[in-house]
Amino acid sequence: MTKPLNHFYRFDYETRLTMLEDVVNLTASDRKMLRDSRSDTGNDIVENYLTDFNLPEGLATNFKINGKLYQIPMVTEEPSVIAAASNGAQLVAKSGGFVAKVQNRQMIGQIVLENVSDENKILDWIHSNEALILKTANEAHPSVLKYGQGATQVRLRNLSEGFISIDLVVDVGEAMGANIIDGMTEAVSKMIQSNLSADVLMSILSNFATESLVTVKCQIALETLTTAALSGEVVATKIEQATKLATLDPYRAATHNKGIMNGIDAVIIAFGNDWRAIESGAYAYACRSGKYQPLSQWTKQDGYLVGEMTLPMPVAFTGGATKVLPLVAVNKRIADVKSARELMMVVGSVGLAQNLAALKALVTEGIQRGHMSLQIKSLARSAGATHAELAVVVDRLSKMSRPDLASAKTIISEIRRKKSSK
């Protein structure tokens, strides 16, 4: 067990490392690693800063979306994700590419009243004071009106048991809007408390972003799905069955959706966005009927496999970490994405491509074989292979019928023994 660290945030960087060394077992090389990856930016973003935690960034290639070709940066620790996304994109591009549409782009903030005894009185007051509520919200964040329409609507939901949610619908422009909305809802909350004898329990953005939806579609000519063992028609039927399975079984639906989020999160991180917000919205949306469902559907129609997915995509193109993390600007240039709406369509398309690649692999040869070389590389690295040892370890593991961590470690020890005996 470690000893407590008091007021860690008050100390400068080197003192913090020394304090940490006093309470945990930190080697000189641990300390060097922490120090080598530190940045002023990181130090400015989080409290009790230690270092920047690096994740690999790669490029998902050749996504055709609404007729435009995209090369899309993705940040992920999972070896097969980028290869699978590119593979899905290639299949879709052969039949014309993705068609993506932003349905709407507004965020919702909640001001929740509790212990309401006379619901009708409160509802009437709010109805007749909608203009005042919107004015209060927009005055709390006047700059929002420069790049979006700001708060545009007030909706009421009587949640029963004395709870009423006043939902503020806000056009946040190119931002994700969490800070804007939190400021607006807090201002509205104060105004309501001073005008009504109502208790406000909390005011906050909702991550169930049902007013910020993107729809992505694609259709794939059956022959392009043909594998060495199966016709395209059979593969398409199996992918259709995979959707049906996910609609029937939440155990499968959770994994189906996880595959979609593999792609979505990786792009979201590359663009400096809040991936927890995207995840929480996606999973809530998957459950909107009361039953957890797959986010995408695949059906066979007129000689094509047709894929479709709609989900909340409340991305930020400006503001927050997008401004501060230097690689985000580079990634925007690589992807040639110019607005939040365009980013919504790109991210949705990557999710659908990722899902297609996973389902195709699952219903044909399984996912292990196709991604073996990437997995073996990652196995070798987790067994401790250095970059210089990697090629030899990967080569020897590839020749094994069941490569595992223990064999990787044995190979590495052998390489090192041989080297030291020379």
Task: State in angstroms the smallest separation of the CB of 376 from ligand MEV.
Answer: 17
Q: Which of residues 96-155 bind ligand MEV (CB under 6 A)?
A: none
The answer to whether 262 contacts ligand MEV (rule: CB under 6 A) is yes
| Chain CA centroid to CA 209, Å | 14
Q: Beta-carbon neighbour count of residue 409 at 10 Å?
A: 17
Confirm if 91 and 305 have CB atoms less than 8 A apart.
no
Which of 141, 256, 371, 377 is in the footprint of ligand MEV by CB under 6 A? 256
**Position with the least CB separation from ligand MEV:** 259
Give the C-alpha separation, 193 to 103, whole Å. Answer: 35
DSSP string, 285-351: HHTTTSS---SEEEEEETTEEEEEEEEE----SSSTHHHHSHHHHHHHHHHT--SHHHHHHHHHHHH
Options 234, 284, 362, 390; binder of ligand MEV; rule CB under 6 A:
362
Among 358, 376, 379, 383, binds ligand MEV (CB under 6 A): 358
Contact status: 371 vs ligand MEV (CB under 6 A): no
Give the residue, chosen from 89, 367, 383, 397, that forms a contact with ligand MEV under the rule CB under 6 A: 367
Q: Which of residues 68-87 bind ligand MEV (CB under 6 A)?
A: 78
AA identity, residue 157: R
**Considering beta carbons, is residue 256 or 332 the nearer one to ligand MEV?**
256
Residues 6+ apart with CB under 8 A from 64: 70, 89, 92, 93, 96, 97, 98
Active-site positions?
78, 258, 274, 371
Helix (H, G, I), strand (E, B) or coil at 400: coil
Pick 78 or 114: Cβ nearer ligand MEV: 78
Alpha-carbon distances, residue 127 vs 116, 121, 134, 160 (angstroms): 16, 10, 12, 18
Helices 130-140 and 178-195: crossing angle in degrees, nearest 10, is: 130
The candidate with the shortest Cα–Cα distance to 83, out of 6, 91, 44, is 91
Task: Tell me the pairing of strands 107-114 and 150-160.
Answer: unpaired
Stretch that binds ligand MEV, among 34-42, 153-161, 319-327, 356-364 (CB under 6 A): 356-364
Of 11-19, 89-97, 256-264, 393-401, the segment contacting ligand MEV by CB under 6 A is 256-264
Nearest approach, Cβ of 286 to ligand MEV (angstroms)? 13
- Between residues 125 and 251, which has the closer beta carbon with respect to ligand MEV? 251
Stretch that binds ligand MEV, among 93-101, 111-119, 258-266, 335-343 (CB under 6 A): 258-266
Could you list the residues that contact ligand MEV (CB under 6 A)? 78, 255-256, 258-259, 262, 358-359, 362, 367
